[in-house]
Amino acid sequence: MLKACSGFKNPKYWGIWLGVGLLRLLAFLPWSWRLKTGQVLGQGLYWLAPARRKLALANASLAFPHWSSPQRQKMIRAHFASLGMGLAETATNLWGIHRSHPPSHPKHESHRFHYHGLNHLKNPTNQGTLLVVPHFTTIEATGLMLNQLMPLHFIYRPHDNALMDCLITASRTSDGPDPVTQAHASQPLPNSDTRAIVRVLRQGGNVMILPDQRYRRRGKISAPFFGHNAMSHPGLSKLAKMGHARVLPVFTRRKDGDYHCFIRPALTDFPGEDPQADLIRLHRLYEQEIQQNPAQYLWTHNRWNLKRPRDY
């Protein structure tokens, strides 16, 4: 799977390769041990990354001001454990059973996948589909689950580090649910290649987009998120309009080693005339899901552009 990245032998990449080696070892573990080990790693990260811990607690304070400090700390500790399990899911994406065996294999990951709202994927008009997946720690699992159902292209931001970019691309390049026929195989799309994304959508393709991170460049729009303005990108509305695509929110919850993927109905009258109104509408959907599943949202991202986060 990582042959395309094997040429990065410069010593400056050795630290990254060490991390890849640890992920490879993680992939050898049985499913439950893999997740448990990831959970322990995440709990260790809680203490080893104080800046991220402070940021997560500050974010939680903004989102849940009515919670007590112990409540927020408990949730953030669970969040770091969830981050570690996300690493285990990355290992699964790179070296899981699905890479070499069909879904009928007794240890295939799909046996742990549960879908809710599959009927919303029906597409009689063959319209392009934008699957909106906010930044929960289950992103990698969500991509794998959706790819078991359909050909799927990920939109990703190219990484500044060449090896990291290669690894991300490898992780999100799909072999398809059938490793023999390569059915559903697809390539990721860089977020800078708007033409390629629009072309896929206009051809009736399926594109997974993660649109809910902070955006500070030209064209940014401010929209309330948990009652506090957050800088966002109106790109989702533009892609939906240019690609003549429908927009389906997708949320995944990890529970007891299984994954529940909730596929919501296509948004009606989207995009609208006002990009900010579109963003507010999306933020409300994210908030509703976060309130149901707070520990698995990505609180370590500086969503509100906090300058000096402190412990709460």
pLDDT digits (tens, 9 = 90+) for 227-260: 999 988 888 999 999 999 999 999 999 999 999 9
Residue 286 CA to residue 261 CA, distance in Å, equals 15
Convert 208-265 into a string of H (helix), E (strand) and C (coil).
EECCCCCCCCCCCEEEEECCEEEEECCHHHHHHHHCCCEEEEEEEEEECCEEEEEECC
8 A C-beta contact, residue 130 and residue 172 = no
Q: Is the pLDDT at 183 greater than 80, yes or no?
A: no
Q: How far is CA 226 from the centre of its chain?
A: 20
**pLDDT given for residue 188 in this prediction:** 86
pLDDT interval class at 176 (50, 70, 90): low
Residue 2 CA to residue 127 CA, distance in Å, equals 33
pLDDT interval class at 163 (50, 70, 90): confident
Q: Could you tell me the pTM of the whole model?
A: 0.91
Q: What is the Cβ-side half-sphere exposure of residue 182, based on CA atoms within 13 angstroms?
A: 4
Percent of the chain whose predicted confidence (pLDDT) is above 90? 69
Q: Is the pLDDT at 130 greater than 80, yes or no?
A: yes
State the alpha helices, DSSP H only, in 49-102.
50-63, 69-95
Burial class from Cβ neighbours inside 10 Å (0-12, 13-18, 19+) for residue 128 reads buried
Q: Tokens 């390569």: give the residue.
A: 182
pLDDT interval class at 184 (50, 70, 90): low
pLDDT interval class at 185 (50, 70, 90): low
Residue 285 CA to residue 269 CA, distance in Å, equals 15
Q: Is the pLDDT at 2 greater than 80, yes or no?
A: no
Q: How many CB atoms lie within 10 A of CB 96?
A: 19
175 DSSP assignment: -
pLDDT interval class at 180 (50, 70, 90): very low
Look up residue 84 and give its two tokens.
């570690």
**pLDDT given for residue 65 in this prediction:** 96
Contacts of 147 (CB under 8 A, 6+ apart): 174, 176, 177, 184, 186
pLDDT interval class at 293 (50, 70, 90): very high
Residue with the bigger pLDDT between 168 and 116: it is 116
8 A C-beta contact, residue 153 and residue 207 = yes
Look up residue 58 and give its two tokens.
């500050």
**pLDDT given for residue 26 in this prediction:** 94
Range ranked top by mean pLDDT from 9-18, 95-104, 114-123, 163-172:
114-123
pLDDT interval class at 214 (50, 70, 90): confident
Q: Is the pLDDT at 54 greater than 70, yes or no?
A: yes
Mean pLDDT lowest among 170-179, 188-197, 275-284: 170-179
Q: How far apart are the first and last CA of the chain?
A: 42
Residue 162 CA to residue 188 CA, distance in Å, equals 16
Range ranked top by mean pLDDT from 9-18, 72-81, 149-158:
72-81
Residue with the bigger pLDDT between 78 and 8: it is 78
Q: Is the pLDDT at 209 greater than 50, yes or no?
A: yes
Task: Give the pLDDT mean for 271-298.
Answer: 96
Residue with the bigger pLDDT between 245 and 179: it is 245
